C-alpha cells in the first residue's frame, strides 16, 4: 500500500520489560500490570457505521491479546462530540479510550458552536489504525465523465448542479467543499440524514452528484447504478484499481478520506500508551481483521503514537479553514 502523510506502516511492537517492580510506587506497579480489568473503547457514533465496525474488529482482537475484554460503548451525539468529551475528561489510566475520527479531531473543533475539548492538548495519541477512502460518484446520465469534464460543466453552469452528502459538517460534505474550492466551481450542497437516503436520491437521479465513503457506494458502482468520477485518496485503491484519483485526474492537491485512530485522555502514562499501541497494531496483522478491513476498502495503517500526533496536527491545519469557509455549524 502507498504511503499516507509519511506515516510509518510498520507494526510498532514494544517488548515487555523483565524489570522487577519491587520497591516501585503503587502507580508504577499498576502500570506494569495493566490491564487488570476490562477497557472501555468509546465509539462516539451510533452502532453499525464504519467507525463502529473498525472498533469492534480491532477491539475484540486487542482484548484477546491483552487478556481483558475491550468493551465497545457507543456514545453518539453532536457529531461525535459527546463521546470524545467523555474520554477527554476521563482518568488517564488506560481504561477509557476513544475511537477518534477526522470528524472528532479535525472537523468538529471548527464547526461546533461550543467546543468542549482541544483535539491536540486533551488527548494522548495511541495509533492511527485505518484510512477509508471516499469517492465522487454521479448518476449515469450525468453528462460529465471525468474530473476535467465535471469542472468544465460546473464552471459553465454555476449553481445549476447540486451534490449530496450524509450531513452538514461531515467529511463527505467537506469533501465537496474542498472540490469546489480547488476547482473554482459552484455547486449547491444537499445534506441528508445519513449516506443511505442520499445514495437513494443520487441513484434515482434526484441529485446528480455525491461524495460518499467508498464502501457505501461500491455495490452501486459495480452494478452501474452510479458512475465513479474518482477516489479521493492520494493513491488508487486496490478494490477499484481502475478508478483514478481526483488528484491524478486533474485536480492537483485534492485529497480527503475518513480515518480511525485510538486516543486516550491527556497525560496517559507512556508504558500504558506503548502497551495499547503494541496490541492495537498487532491486532491489525490478524488475518481475519485484515480481510474484514480490506473487504470495506479500508487501508490498514498501524502507526506510532508520534505519527498519529503529527497526523492530527496536519489534519486540523488542513480542514479548519475549509470547515469554517463552508459555514457548517453544529450545536
Q: Are residues 97 and 138 in the same domain?
A: no
- The answer to whether position 244 is within a domain reads no
- Rounded Cα distance between 324 and 331, Å, is 15
Q: Are residues 211 and 272 in the same domain?
A: no
Chosen domain end from 215, 231, 247: 231
pLDDT at 8 over 50: no
- Rounded Cα distance between 35 and 14, Å, is 16
pLDDT at 297 over 90: no
- The answer to whether position 165 is within a domain reads yes
pLDDT given for residue 140 in this prediction: 97
- What is the average pLDDT value for the chain, to the nearest integer? 87
Structural domain including 263 reads 26-131+258-326
pLDDT at 42 over 70: yes
- Rounded Cα distance between 163 and 191, Å, is 8
Q: Are residues 266 and 120 in the same domain?
A: yes
Q: What is the mean pLDDT of residues 294-298?
A: 79
- The answer to whether position 251 is within a domain reads no
pLDDT given for residue 43 in this prediction: 92
pLDDT at 9 over 60: no
- The answer to whether position 236 is within a domain reads no
Residue 229 CB neighbour total at 10 angstroms: 23
What would you measure as the largest C-alpha separation in the chain, in angstroms? 75
Q: Does 140 or 165 have the greater pLDDT score?
A: 140
163-172, 216-225, 240-249: which range is least confident on average? 163-172
Q: What is the CATH number of the domain that holds 74?
A: 3.40.190.150
Q: Are residues 167 and 90 in the same domain?
A: no
pLDDT given for residue 330 in this prediction: 64
- The answer to whether position 57 is within a domain reads yes
Q: Name the pTM for this structure.
A: 0.75
Q: Are residues 38 and 175 in the same domain?
A: no
- The answer to whether position 182 is within a domain reads yes
Q: What is the mean pLDDT of residues 119-141?
A: 95
- Rounded Cα distance between 30 and 112, Å, is 37
Q: Are residues 288 and 211 in the same domain?
A: no
Q: Are residues 139 and 122 in the same domain?
A: no
Q: What is the mean pLDDT of residues 31-56?
A: 86
- Report strand pairing: 257-265 vs 123-138: antiparallel
Q: Are residues 182 and 198 in the same domain?
A: yes
pLDDT tens by residue, 82-116:
899 999 999 999 999 999 999 899 988 888 878 78
pLDDT given for residue 52 in this prediction: 85
Q: Does 25 or 322 have the greater pLDDT score?
A: 322
Q: Are residues 115 and 262 in the same domain?
A: yes
Q: How confident is the model at residue 14 (pLDDT cuts 50, 70, 90)?
A: very low
pLDDT tens by residue, 223-272:
999 999 999 998 999 889 999 999 999 999 999 888 999 999 999 999 99
- The answer to whether position 44 is within a domain reads yes
Q: Are residues 44 and 186 in the same domain?
A: no
| Structural domains counted in the chain | 2
Q: Would you say 66 and 35 are in contact if contact means Cβ atoms under 8 Å apart? A: yes
- The answer to whether position 331 is within a domain reads no
Q: What is the CATH number of the domain that holds 227?
A: 3.40.190.10
- Name the grid cell of 7: 506515516
Q: What is the mean pLDDT of residues 146-170?
A: 93
Q: Are residues 222 and 264 in the same domain?
A: no
pLDDT given for residue 29 in this prediction: 52
Q: Are residues 146 and 116 in the same domain?
A: no
Q: Phi then psi for 270, rounded to 5 degrees?
A: -60, -40
Amino acid at each position: 500500500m502507498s504511503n499516507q502523510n509519511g506515516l510509518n506502516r510498520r507494526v510498532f511492537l514494544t517488548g515487555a520489560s523483565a524489570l522487577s517492580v519491587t520497591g516501585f510506587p503503587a502507580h508504577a506497579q499498576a502500570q506494569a500490570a495493566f490491564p487488570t480489568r476490562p477497557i472501555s473503547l468509546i465509539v462516539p457514533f451510533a452502532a453499525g457505521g464504519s467507525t463502529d465496525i473498525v472498533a469492534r474488529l480491532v477491539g475484540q482482537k486487542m482484548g484477546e491479546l491483552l487478556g481483558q475484554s475491550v468493551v465497545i460503548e457507543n456514545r453518539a451525539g453532536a457529531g461525535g462530540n459527546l463521546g470524545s468529551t467523555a474520554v477527554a475528561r476521563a482518568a488517564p489510566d488506560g481504561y477509557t479510550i476513544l475511537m477518534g475520527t477526522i470528524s472528532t479531531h479535525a472537523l468538529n473543533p471548527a464547526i461546533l458552536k461550543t467546543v468542549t475539548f482541544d483535539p491536540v492538548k486533551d488527548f494522548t495519541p495511541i495509533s492511527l489504525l485505518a484510512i477509508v477512502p471516499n469517492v465522487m460518484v454521479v448518476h449515469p446520465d450525468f453528462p460529465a465523465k471525468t474530473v476535467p469534464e465535471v469542472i468544465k460543466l460546473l464552471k459553465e453552469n454555476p449553481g445549476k448542479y447540486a451534490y449530496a452528502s450524509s450531513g452538514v459538517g461531515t467529511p463527505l460534505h467537506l469533501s465537496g467543499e474542498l472540490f469546489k474550492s480547488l476547482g473554482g466551481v459552484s455547486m449547491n450542497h444537499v445534506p441528508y440524514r445519513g449516506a443511505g437516503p442520499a445514495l437513494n436520491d443520487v441513484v434515482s437521479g434526484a441529485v446528480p452528484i455525491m461524495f460518499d465513503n467508498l464502501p457505501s457506494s461500491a455495490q452501486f458502482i459495480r452494478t452501474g447504478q452510479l458512475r465513479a468520477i474518482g477516489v479521493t485518496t492520494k493513491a488508487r485503491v486496490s478494490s477499484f484499481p481502475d478508478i483514478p484519483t481526483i488528484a491524478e485526474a486533474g485536480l492537483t492537491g485534492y485529497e480527503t478520506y475518513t480515518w480511525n485512530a485510538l486516543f486516550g485522555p491527556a497525560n496517559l502514562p507512556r508504558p500504558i500508551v506503548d502497551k495499547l499501541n503494541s496490541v492495537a497494531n498487532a491486532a491489525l496483522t490478524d488475518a481475519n481483521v485484515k480481510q474484514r478491513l480490506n473487504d470495506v476498502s479500508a487501508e490498514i495503517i498501524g502507526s506510532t503514537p508520534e505519527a498519529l500526533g503529527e497526523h492530527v496536527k496536519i489534519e486540523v491545519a488542513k480542514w479548519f479553514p475549509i470547515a469554517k469557509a463552508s459555514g457548517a455549524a453544529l450545536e
